Amino acid sequence: MKVYNFSAGPAILPKEVFAEASEAVKDFQGIGMSILEISHRSKEFQAVMDEAMALAKELLQVPEGYEVLFLQGGASTQFAMSSMNLLGEGETVGYVDTGTWSAKAIKEAKMYGNVNVLASSKEAGYDSIPKGFDVPSDVKYVHLTSNNTIYGTQFQSFPDVGVPIVADMSSDILSRPIDVSKFGIIYAGAQKNMGPSGVTMAIVKKDFVANPVRKTPTMFNYNTFIEKQSMFNTPPVFPIYVSMLTMRWVKKNGGVAKMNEVNTAKADLLYGAFDKSDLFYGRAKVEDRSKMNAVFLIKDESKAGAFLEACTAANISGVKGHRSVGGFRASIYNAMDINGVQTLVDVMTEFEKAHG
Kindly report the CATH number that applies to the domain delimited by 15-252: 3.40.640.10
* pLDDT tens by residue, 255-278: 999 999 999 999 999 999 999 999
Could you give the CA distance from residue 31 to residue 13 in angstroms, rounded to a whole number?
26
pLDDT at position 46, please?
97
CA-derived radius of gyration, the chain: 21
**Ranges of H-type helices in the chain:** 15-26, 43-59, 74-86, 100-109, 206-209, 222-227, 237-252, 255-276, 304-313, 338-355
pLDDT at position 125, please?
96
Could you give the CA distance from residue 120 to residue 126 in angstroms, rounded to a whole number?
8
Could you give the CA distance from residue 235 to residue 199 in angstroms, rounded to a whole number?
8
Could you give the CA distance from residue 207 to residue 184 in angstroms, rounded to a whole number?
9
pLDDT at position 36, please?
97
Contacts of 124 (CB under 8 A, 6+ apart): none
Taking residues 143-147, report their average pLDDT.
Answer: 98
User: Catalytic residue positions?
Assistant: 101, 168, 192
pLDDT at position 2, please?
87
Residue 190 pLDDT exceeds 90: yes
Could you give the CA distance from residue 112 to residue 179 in angstroms, rounded to a whole number?
28
pLDDT at position 356, please?
73
Fold of 255-355: Aspartate Aminotransferase, domain 1 (3.90.1150)
Taking residues 232-239, report their average pLDDT.
Answer: 97
pLDDT at position 82, please?
98
DSSP 187: E
Contact present, 185 and 209 (Cβ < 8 Å): yes
DSSP 107: H
Residue 1 pLDDT exceeds 80: no
Taking residues 318-347, report their average pLDDT.
Answer: 97
For all residues of the chain together, what is the average pLDDT? 97
Contact present, 197 and 240 (Cβ < 8 Å): no
236 class by beta-carbon count within 10 Å (0-12 exposed, 13-18 middle, 19+ buried): buried
Contact present, 252 and 245 (Cβ < 8 Å): no
Taking residues 52-65, report their average pLDDT.
Answer: 98
CB atoms within 10 A of CB 181: 12
Q: Which of 166, 172, 107, 159 is nearest to 130 (CA)?
A: 159
Residue 128 pLDDT exceeds 90: yes
Is the peptide bond prior to 10 cis by the omega test (within 30 degrees of 0)?
yes
At residue 44, the 3 state secondary structure works out as helix
Residue 315 pLDDT exceeds 90: yes
So where are the chain's domains? 15-252, 255-355
Could you give the CA distance from residue 142 to residue 160 in angstroms, rounded to a whole number?
10
At residue 144, the 3 state secondary structure works out as strand
Is the fold of 15-252 the same as that of 255-355? no
pLDDT over 70 for what percent of the chain? 100
